[in-house]
Amino acid sequence: MQIQKGSDFLSINLYSLQGNKAKPSLKAGYIPELAHPDKVELSSMTTSRQLPEDAIKHNPAQFFFSTDVNASLDRVLDGQSQEFKDAINHIFESNFFNNTSDFTDEERSELIEMGMAKAKFLAETYLKDKDASQFLDTIHLLAGVSKTRKVDPATGGVSYIELPQKPQGAPDDYINPSKLMERFDPEAFKKYQATETNATERASLLIQFVKKQRFHPEWRTTYLKEQDSLMQNLKNTPIPNRFEDVDASNLSQFESQVKERMAAIPFANQDLLKRNLTSFIHLLGKNDSAHA
């Protein structure tokens, strides 16, 4: 996944967030809507990013998930205010993929609930029916991804399940040959990984595998079925949300009812949720009158 903060664009591998010893590595690239050149691996992000209560000056991160997912988000972002864009990315950064290491599973689950409520507010307040529905479907998918979070007990590294990746404009049945190699020829894949600094040998190994997989059409069929099953499972991930029915007609009403719900229900960390809500309100507050 990729991340942007302020005017700097950073590329991060959210699927493999390593421990505290990694150093930043630069990588060039371009993504529509997020056209900023500076990138760095998420493995270099070793400190927690607690949002302050007064988050008016905080610029939430922007993430890259996959070509298809970001294309869907770009359609929603097109023509919207910067505050709206920041609010969406605030959900990803602080609710779904929060980098704070000492949250409990229950606290993370509650942050996801709050994120779903905030997404519903954005959809109902800023978007038309079709866009709102597609946006919420995408949000639910990413909430499902956030539920796959795993921590390596030995290294402290954090990983999330990887969404299917394909180049922009590639057909639906596109498969990265290296992914197919990793799945069905692990020995060849180990050699492929070991040649990371030797482009010629790396290309040769990939060509050899492509020739080999022509005799195993079942590999593609199986892989595509597995990827389809993965996406369906993520889309259908149960996401409990005790804020689901709060009034989203305007920001003030939304804030009031969310706070009432928090007071009435014994959440694990009330203060965490209050800070999270406050930072979201600050992001949108100055433009809310246009949508009330």
pLDDT digits (tens, 9 = 90+) for 66-90: 999 999 999 998 999 999 999 999 9
| Backbone CA torsion sign across 138, 101, 6, 243 | positive
Q: Are 14 and 160 in contact (CB under 8 A)?
A: yes
Q: What is the domain count for the chain?
A: 1
Distance in angstroms (rounded) separating the CA atoms of residues 277 and 220: 45
pLDDT at 170: 92
Across residues 215-242, what is the average pLDDT? 96
Let me know if residue 33 belongs to a domain: yes
In angstroms, what is the C-alpha Rg of the chain? Answer: 21
Let me know if residue 231 belongs to a domain: no
pLDDT at 286: 54
The residues facing 150 across adjacent strands are: 159
Task: For residue 58, report the phi and psi dihedrals to the nearest 5 degrees.
Answer: -80, 130
Q: Would residue 231 be called left, alpha or beta, if left means φ above 0 and alpha means ψ between -120 and 50 degrees? A: alpha
Using one digit for the tens of pLDDT, what is the confidence trace for 3-50? Answer: 444 444 333 344 444 444 443 333 334 344 434 433 333 333 444 455
Which domain range does residue 48 map to?
A: 2-147+237-290
Q: Which amino acid is at 209?
A: F
Question: In 147-216, which residue ranges form alpha helices assigned H by DSSP?
Answer: 177-184, 186-194, 199-213
Residue 42: both structure tokens together: 């998420």
Let me know if residue 120 belongs to a domain: yes
pLDDT at 106: 96
Closest C-alpha to 49, from 100, 110, 118: 100
Residue 289 pLDDT exceeds 80:
no
Let me know if residue 139 belongs to a domain: yes
Percent of the chain with pLDDT strictly greater than 90: 68
pLDDT at 8: 41
Let me know if residue 77 belongs to a domain: yes
Using one digit for the tens of pLDDT, what is the confidence trace for 132-147? Answer: 999 999 999 999 999 9
Let me know if residue 81 belongs to a domain: yes
- Can you point out the beta strands (E) in 21-83? none
Residue 232: both structure tokens together: 């369906």
Q: Name all contacts of 252-261 with Cβ < 8 Å and 24+ positions apart.
A: 252/288, 252/292, 254/121, 255/281, 258/114, 258/117
| Backbone CA torsion sign across 124, 126, 127, 133 | negative
| Backbone CA torsion sign across 136, 139, 140, 141 | positive
Let me know if residue 229 belongs to a domain: no
Distance in angstroms (rounded) separating the CA atoms of residues 66 and 207: 25
pLDDT at 50: 54
pLDDT band at 237 (very low <50, low <70, confident <90, very high): very high
Q: Please give the DSSP secondary-structure letter assigned to residue 168.
A: T
Residue 161 pLDDT exceeds 70:
yes
User: 287: number of CA atoms within 13 Å, CB side?
Assistant: 15
Distance in angstroms (rounded) separating the CA atoms of residues 94 and 114: 10
Let me know if residue 113 belongs to a domain: yes
